[in-house]
Structure formats: C-alpha cells, structure tokens
Structure 1
Amino acid sequence: MLVYVIYVFLFIALGGPLLRYTGFIISNWRAGTLGDIRKRFNGLLFPLLKGVWTAGLADLFVIPLYPLGFLGGKETLGEDTPVLLVHGLFHNASAWLIMKHRLREAGIVNVHTYQYGTMTGDFQGAVDGLRARLDVLLRRHPGGTVALVGHSLGGLVIRKAIGDPRYWDRIAGVVTLGSPHGGSDLAHCGFNAMARGLLPGGTIPVAASAAPDAHCPRLSLFSPVDDFVYPFTSLQVNREGWEESLCSPMSHVWMLYSREISGIVIDFLRGIGCQADDSGDSLEAF
C-alpha cells in the first residue's frame, strides 16, 4: 500500500509539472521567446528547476485545500475599501486561503472571494456573476470603491466585468496574477469550452482585451516560467496604463502561495488605501 501511495505522490509532484514544462519549452521555442527568458536569468536550467519544484508543491497544496472552497462561510464587511479575490480556471475559493490569511495578518481584513463555475459554466456567466457581486459590495459601501485581485482566468473575468462604464470610477485598483492576457497554447489540451476559449486569439482573451480599462492603478504580475500560460508573451497586457512586473521564477499555481507574491499584493493594496478595519457586518463568502 505504501508503495502505491509513493507512486501517486511522485506522479502528482513530478509527472504533471514535467509534462506542462515540456509544453512550456516547445511553445516558447516556437515563439522565439525561450532565448529571451534565458538571457534574463543568465541561463534556463535554474528557473526551470525552480518552476518544476514549485509546480509539484502547488499541486500537492491544491488537492487537500480544494474541498474547502465548497464549505461556504461568512466574511466580514468593514468600512474600509473591500478587496475582492477572483480565482482561475478549474479552481475555487480555496485558491485564496493562504493569501487571505497573509492579507489579514498585514492588516487588510476587508477581504472577500468570488467563486464561479468553470467546469460547466461559461465566461459571460462568470463576468455577470462578478458584476452582481460587485454591485452588492458597492451598495454596502456607498460612495466607496472596490479593489480586485485575479489569478489566471480570474484576471480576464475582472477585466471584462469592469469594462462596464458604471464601474470605471468605483474600482480602487486591479492586480492580475499569471493571467493569460493573450491566451495560452496549453488551452489546446482543454476539455471544455471555457478552457478552449483561452487559446491565443480565442474568445476569452479577445473579449477581455476589447473591454475598456477602469480609471485606477493596474498591475499585471507574472512569472518567467509559468507552466500554464505560454508562450511568455501571452502573459503580457501590452496596454497603456498597466504596470507589468516580472516576479522570480515560480510555477503558475505557486503564485497563490508564494510569500513574494503576497508581499507585492499587500504593498499594492496598501498603496491604494486598503486599510484595516475589524468592524462591520457579514456577507456570504461563496
């Protein structure tokens, strides 16, 4: 029995990451961006090893945490600027458990999560649901604004949702983490419409790019060795008004658990006025 457990562990921790990084190498080689990544770090071996290592760790984090996303719960709505976290494809609100803990430790306590279905749902449905959630937060926070943080597909859901002019002056700031702004070649392996819509030139990145930007600070943060979004150029917004920042080499999902990423998000949120406030009512989390 122990042998089988070890085999499963090795498959999860090594098999998936190695397959994804094979796709990463092929995609970036075809796009001519592999050399650019190598030059940034004076080599490719160390960044790739770090990517594979953090991908394996992330996969092991996701499995036990994932069911917690369906438990629901209550989130305190304070008087300060609410922060709304939006997860990515095939994930749920459990994606943010560690990030939420670190935000609250840093004094950013008015934190909320938006959960949407990506197995059977569609992109527009996710966008409509986010707009409904924003409306609730903004009604409970009259005259105020909301800050948004999205991982992966969540960043595109945010961009499309706040493209509606009625939100342009109600958003304090936006952070996207490893979002496929230009799609991803990995979407060729997608098994449903939401995943296949993330192909380069696909309906989802096109819809997100067509949406106007809200009048607020905007940060796109991404890893040079993202194992879910490639080629490398697909991670870039390439749009005026966006700050684009490269983090240290790490896998796509590890961005949710990385102290480096949490620190950058915390600094951004503090910079746009998200302050601690333990008072307030409660709002359903999921």
Structure 2
Amino acid sequence: MLGYLTTRPVERMSMGPTLFFPGIDFAPYPGHILGMTWLYIILWIMIGVSSLLAGLTTLLFYYDNYNTYGPEELHRRTGVSMPVLFLRTLGQTLLSQLIVSVTYPFGYIKPLWFRPPDVAIRQPRSSNPGHAEPRPPVLLIHGLYHNASAWVYMKYRLRQAGYEHIFAYSYFSFFQDFFHLTRVLANKVEELRSYFPDTKLVLMGHSLGALTIRAYMASLESQDKIAAAVALAAPHQGSRLAALGFGGLARSLMYKGELITALEQADQPASAPCLSIASPVDEFVLPLDATFLPRAQELGWTEQTGPSIPHVSLLFSPKTADMSLAFLDKVLAEN
C-alpha cells in the first residue's frame, strides 16, 4: 500500500479552458499547483490594493499638511525630515493595510466578538495577580469600512490585563447615516447592560467609532452606564480626505462640515472620564489639527499624543494599548 502511494503519479486537473481564462488549458497542471497559483494571485491582489491605498493616503497626507503648516512646522510636529516622514508613513500604512486584509474576514464571525455572557464567562481568567478585582465589560467600536476584526490586538491586550468580558460588533459603512450608528451603539450598550445590570461599561472606539462614542457620551442616555471611554484616532473636526470617501456616511465626515458642526453644538460634559489618543502623523485625518477636540477639557476629555504612526496602525500598536490600559487602570482605581 505504501509503495502504491509513493509511486502513484500526481493526478492532473481534468479541466480545459475556463470562463475567466478562455485561452489557457489548465489540464496539464496538477491540482495543488493550481491551488497555490490562486493563492499567489489573491496575495498579490491584496498587496497591490494595499500598496495603492497606502501610497495615495501618504501622498495626500504629505501634500495637505505641507501646504497647511509648511515644512518647518511639519518637521517640528513629527520630529523627522520630510523624506523620512514620507517613506516611514508609507511603509507603516502598507503594513497595517496588509494586516487588515488578512484579518478582515474574521470580523464577520460574530461568536468571536459578541458572545453571550454565559459563554464568555467560561473563558480563562487572567493570570495577572495585579488585577484581582473584576474588570468591567468592554465594548469596542470599529471605524469606517472596517469591522470587528480591527480589535484583534487590543482584545488580546485587554484579556491579558484582566478584562474577561470584551465585546465588539460590525456595522455596514454604506446606506446609513452617523446618527443611526449612534443609535446602534446605544442599543448595544443597553443589550450589555441587560447582561450586567449593576456594572458600568468601558467604551473604546477607533476613528468613526470614536466619534460615535463622543456623540453617545454627550447624551443623557450615557449617565450611570459608562465607567470610561477611550477614543483612538478620532477625526474630531472631520477630515478633508472625506471628500474622496465612498458613500454618504464617509462624505459626511468632511472637515468642519455640517455633521461636525452638529456634534460640536450637541457636545455636553461627559458623564465619565474620557481619553482621546491621536497620532501626529495620522494620514487619514487631514489636517493634523483635526484630531484635536475643541473644548476638550471643558467636555471632560483628556487628550494625549500617541506614537507617530499612521491611522490604522494605532490599532496594532503596543504603545497605544499601554496608554489606553494605563488610563483605564487609573480611572478604575479612583472609583
């Protein structure tokens, strides 16, 4: 039997010209070679799309901020020369986009991100002896065009820090407006509150998700429900890049546009401590000052400058996670 298996010739694909490649006969090629070929094709498509997006956003970041602030001010803010800034931002953006491409399909597997508590509670507890007290549930909200897979690294860090109940959900970035997403967030908070009626939640959002947290924290609905909130790479004043966005939701995020004006008019002091972390080289939020929240201190928000990495890279940054967890540790210790 073993001899038969080792001497048996490789079976050939019994397929001729196909619909997608009418001029090529695949019959002479072994099946496993064809499988690897398709894998390479998909891989190169991912690399190509990621490279195109990284190059476009980096060029726009460089052009917009160079003309807004000038080379000297841009150098002062970023701490590096213009060629180094361009190449570093391009490389980091490409890497983060590749990570997103690989992890994106897993964001739609709901049990990975939003398990009922009776299932989640059976997950192993953190072995960190410094976190003997139970940690509050955490709700994670992703940004535009992304999904729950955005939180793959942050969820790991939260778990290591002793947070047992970590939830994330995915929303569609087309055919709905910003205030619908805010209502979705409010509904998710109520759902988790039904599971944990005597516990305040922690909210953490990235980009557009951070803006929905800001809108929610300004409402009376958030009173006595939220322990703390963390915003990563929030376009608090919108972004000029939104003009190139696909869909009405993306274009509504224009720099100092109608939506941003409405948010500023509705802003109220937050009912819980809030942290906003921004990168000094955020290539998606143009200009750079758009990452700062007007009247932040008055509204109860603490603003911190994160690592000098691109917009999406903040999601996978150890330093960003360290800053977020340090803030939450301080808030929970004071309460």
Q: TM-score, normalised by structure 1?
A: 0.87
Deviations along 1:221-258, one digit per CA (max 9) or x if unpaired, are: 11111111110011111322322111221111111111
Whichever of the two has the greater Rg, that structure is 2
Q: Give ranges in structure 1 of 5+ residues lacking alignment.
A: 275-286
Alignment coverage as a number of residue pairs: 274
Alignment-derived partner of residue 256 in structure 1: 315
Alignment-derived partner of residue 49 in structure 1: 87
Q: Among 280, 283, 303, which residue is 1:244 paired with?
A: 303
Could you tell me how far apart the structure 1 residues matched to 2:277 and 2:288 are? 12
Bigger strand share: 1
Q: Among 213, 218, 234, which residue is 1:158 paired with?
A: 213
Deviations along 1:191-226, one digit per CA (max 9) or x if unpaired, are: 210000000122332333323232221111111111
Offset of 1:5 from its aligned partner?
A: 6.6
Aligned residue runs from structure 1 range 24-43, under 5 A: 24-32=61-69, 35-40=72-77, 41-43=79-81
Alignment-derived partner of residue 286 in structure 2: 230
Alignment-derived partner of residue 96 in structure 1: 151
* Structure 2 letter corresponding to 1:270: D
Offset of 1:173 from its aligned partner?
A: 1.3
Alignment-derived partner of residue 270 in structure 1: 329
Could you tell me how far apart the structure 2 residues matched to 1:18 and 1:75 are? 41
Would you say the 8 A contact 2:217–2:271 is kept in 1?
A: no
Would you say the 8 A contact 1:183–1:201 is kept in 2?
A: yes
Would you say the 8 A contact 2:270–2:301 is kept in 1?
A: no
* Structure 1 letter corresponding to 2:99: F
Deviations along 1:153-199, one digit per CA (max 9) or x if unpaired, are: 00111111222213133221111111110000111101210000000
Runs of 4+ in 1 over 4 A off after TM superposition: 1-7
Would you say the 8 A contact 1:173–1:272 is kept in 2?
A: yes
Query: Cα RMSD over matched residues?
Result: 2.3
Residues 137 and 9 of structure 1: CA distance in aligned 2, closer, same or farther (over 3 Å): closer
Would you say the 8 A contact 1:117–1:126 is kept in 2?
A: no
* Structure 2 letter corresponding to 1:146: L
Could you tell me how far apart the structure 1 residues matched to 2:279 and 2:76 are? 15
Q: Give ranges in structure 2 of 5+ residues lacking alignment.
A: 1-36, 122-133
- Deviates most, 32-41 or 113-122: 32-41
Aligned residue runs from structure 1 range 127-276, under 5 A: 127-209=182-264, 210-239=266-295, 240=297, 241-273=300-332
Higher relative contact order (CA 8 A, sep 6+): 1
Would you say the 8 A contact 2:138–2:203 is kept in 1?
A: yes
Would you say the 8 A contact 2:144–2:209 is kept in 1?
A: yes
Deviations along 1:242-277, one digit per CA (max 9) or x if unpaired, are: 221112211111111111111111222222229xxx
* Structure 2 letter corresponding to 1:154: G
* Structure 1 letter corresponding to 2:53: G
Aligned residue runs from structure 1 range 80-95, under 5 A: 80-95=135-150
Identity, in percent, stands at 32
Q: Secondary structure at the match of 1:32?
A: helix
Alignment-derived partner of residue 52 in structure 2: 15
Could you tell me how far apart the structure 2 residues matched to 1:35 and 1:218 are? 32
Q: TM-score, normalised by structure 2?
A: 0.75
Aligned residue runs from structure 1 range 99-118, under 5 A: 99-118=154-173
Q: Secondary structure at the match of 1:273?
A: helix
Could you tell me how far apart the structure 1 residues matched to 2:70 and 2:289 are? 8
Could you tell me how far apart the structure 1 residues matched to 2:70 and 2:328 are? 32
